[in-house]
Amino acid sequence: MIFSARQDEIVALAKSKGRVFVEELATLFSVTPQTIRKDLNDLCDARVLSRIHGGALFPSGTENLKYEQRRAMAATEKQDIGRAAAALIPDNASLFINIGTTTEAVGEALSDHHELMVITNNINVANRLRVYPAIEVVIAGGVVRGSDGGIVGEAAVDFIRQFKVDFAVIGVSAIDEDGALLDFDYREVKVAQAIIANARHVILVSDSAKFERTAPVRIGHISQINTFITDHCPIARVREICAENDVRLIETRAVDNEGR
């Protein structure tokens, strides 16, 4: 489901405040309460928000959001990030792409490349790229996670370790202020760690909402990354860590230090 610009703004407000209310939103956007109720119903039906009396709540940061919900959120930002990542990957390259809606945006942006070998544990990436004759797709074996088409488990880890590739494109569920890269599923984390260890250049792709979330399992640290692509990095310490460790930071929608 693609949300309207107003609905995207409502979600952003709910993220920052924790909850939003119909009457306040109607005044803010100069629309009727009925219009706002419809917006909230759409967002709640998509499980982006949860309804409360008179408004809606943003889900807890520790809750792993449903796949289609994650795909719809920050869709434009993910497309921009995907194009920026694809621009760094030349023809005739080999690469890993792991699980995630942002990494899938990278896969879509690679469709005009030639002579690529793409190794992935993401069924959605494999299914999109398999139709392009100039791209060879190699898919990992293992347990298929029904929620998002990710392939996880020891078999996938062992498969990944057979390769040494030019690039890895990885996504994460959350980025901590100390630079820790986090996820929800320890099985997926093991695959991501194997991907990082077996690529010459690691590209982390993540929209800025990942700075507002938490997850319990540590993948690694941003200092292990070569390039970090995001729409905007609002955390000063993360910027410092990138500079201290020669991590190239690319912001597709950079704003000034005041957040404008």
Domain CATH for 34: 1.10.10.10
The amino acid at 174: A
Kindly state the average pLDDT of the residues 57-75. Answer: 61
Within a domain: residue 50?
A: yes
Write out pLDDT tens, residues 114-151.
999 999 999 999 999 999 999 999 999 988 887 788 89
Chain-centroid distance, C-alpha 130: 22
Within a domain: residue 257?
A: no
Cα angle 88, 94, 95; round to 5: 70
Judge if 33 and 10 occupy the same domain. yes
Among 52-56, 77-81, 115-119, 220-224, the range scoring the smallest mean pLDDT is 52-56
Within a domain: residue 247?
A: yes
Rounded to whole angstroms, how far apart are CA atoms 152 and 144?
Answer: 7
Within a domain: residue 258?
A: no
Judge if 35 and 157 occupy the same domain. no
The whole-number pLDDT of residue 69 equals 62
Judge if 95 and 217 occupy the same domain. yes
The whole-number pLDDT of residue 72 equals 61
Judge if 42 and 77 occupy the same domain. no
Rounded to whole angstroms, how far apart are CA atoms 111 and 130?
Answer: 10
pLDDT > 90? residue 241: yes
Within a domain: residue 212?
A: yes
- Per the structure, the complete domain to which residue 244 belongs is given by 70-251
Within a domain: residue 156?
A: yes
Judge if 19 and 83 occupy the same domain. no
The amino acid at 95: L
Judge if 84 and 50 occupy the same domain. no
Domain count, the chain: 2
Judge if 79 and 174 occupy the same domain. yes
- Tell which of 19, 35, 59 closes a domain: 59
- Tell which of 18, 36, 59 closes a domain: 59
Rounded to whole angstroms, how far apart are CA atoms 117 and 120?
Answer: 10
Judge if 125 and 205 occupy the same domain. yes
Judge if 175 and 199 occupy the same domain. yes
Sign of the CA dihedral 66, 190, 91, 136? negative
What percent of the chain is predicted at pLDDT more than 70? 91
pLDDT > 50? residue 214: yes
Within a domain: residue 256?
A: no
Judge if 92 and 215 occupy the same domain. yes
Within a domain: residue 259?
A: no
The amino acid at 56: A
Judge if 76 and 54 occupy the same domain. no
Note whether 128 and 106 are within 8 A (CB).
no
Write out pLDDT tens, residues 99-112.
989 999 999 999 99
Note whether 168 and 202 are within 8 A (CB).
yes
Write out pLDDT tens, residues 4-23.
889 989 988 888 777 899 99
Judge if 218 and 102 occupy the same domain. yes
The CA-atom distances, in angstroms, between 236 and each of 64, 120, 177, 256, 258 are 26, 32, 9, 12, 12
- Tell which of 16, 37, 59 closes a domain: 59
pLDDT > 90? residue 85: yes
58 secondary structure, DSSP code: P
Residues 215, 221, 224, 226: what is their CA dihedral angle, to the nearest 10 degrees?
70
Q: Terminus-to-terminus CA distance in the chain, angstroms? A: 28
Around Cβ 173, how many Cβ atoms within 10 Å? 25
Residue 176: give its domain's CATH number.
Answer: 3.40.50.1360
